[in-house]
C-alpha cells in the first residue's frame, strides 16, 4: 500500500456537515485527535506538522499550475498554518495548551502564536508569512477575489516561511 491509500478514510456526511457548521477543518480535527489519542511525542508531532506543510506546498503548486487561485490560496494558507503549529509546539508556546483546551487551533490562536514566535526568535519572516497566508485565506479562498498573479506573488513568501520553519526546527535538533 502506498501513503495515499492510508490517507483515504470515509466520514459520514453528518459529521462533515456538523464540522462545517462549527467552522472546523476536518483534516486538522482528525489529525489533532489522532495525535492526542495516540499520545504522540513532541518531536513526532512537530515532524507531522512539517510533513503536512510540505504536502500542502506541493498541492498549492499543482493548483497554481492548473490555474486555480481559490484552491491554491487555501493550500498556501494551510502551509503557514502547519508551520505556525510546528513552531508553537517546538517552542512550547502558551497557544499550544490553549488549542488543546479549546479542542482546535482557532485563527486567533495561530495569529497570536505567529506574533509570539516572531518576537521570541526575532524573525519577521514568521509574522510576514502568516500575514500573507491569512490574506490568501480571506481574500483568495473565502472571498475568491484574488487572481493567479496575486497568488504567484505570494508563493515565495510562503515558501520562505516553510524553509525557515524547517531550518529553525532542525537547528534546535528536533528534525534530522
Count of positions (residues) in the chain? 176
pTM above 0.85, yes or no: yes
How does the average pLDDT of the chain come out, rounded?
A: 90
Is the torsion defined by CA of 116, 136, 166, 175 positive or negative? Answer: positive
Q: What is the pLDDT of residues 94-115, one digit of tens each?
A: 999 999 898 888 899 999 999 9
Q: Quick one: CA dihedral 56, 61, 64, 66, positive or negative?
A: negative
State the fold for domain 12-171. 1.20.120
User: Residue 96 CB: number of other CB atoms within 10 A?
Assistant: 19
Amino acid at each position: 500500500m502506498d501513503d495515499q491509500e492510508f490517507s483515504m478514510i470515509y466520514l459520514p456526511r453528518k459529521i462533515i456537515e456538523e464540522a462545517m457548521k462549527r467552522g472546523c477543518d476536518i483534516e486538522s480535527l482528525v489529525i489533532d485527535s489522532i495525535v492526542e489519542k495516540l499520545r504522540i511525542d513532541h518531536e513526532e508531532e512537530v515532524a507531522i506538522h512539517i510533513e503536512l506543510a510540505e504536502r500542502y506546498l506541493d498541492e498549492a503548486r499543482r493548483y497554481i499550475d492548473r490555474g486555480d487561485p481559490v484552491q491554491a490560496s487555501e493550500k498556501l494558507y494551510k502551509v503557514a498554518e502547519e508551520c505556525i503549529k510546528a513552531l508553537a509546539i517546538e517552542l512550547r508556546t502558551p497557544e499550544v495548551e490553549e488549542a488543546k483546551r479549546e479542542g482546535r487551533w482557532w485563527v486567533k490562536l495561530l495569529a497570536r502564536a505567529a506574533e509570539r514566535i516572531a518576537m521570541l526568535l526575532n524573525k519577521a519572516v514568521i509574522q510576514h508569512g502568516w500575514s500573507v497566508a491569512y490574506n490568501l485565506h480571506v481574500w483568495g479562498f473565502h472571498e475568491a477575489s484574488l487572481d493567479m498573479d496575486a497568488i504567484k506573488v505570494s508563493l515565495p513568501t510562503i515558501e520562505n516561511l516553510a524553509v525557515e520553519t524547517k531550518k529553525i526546527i532542525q537547528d534546535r535538533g528536533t528534525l534530522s
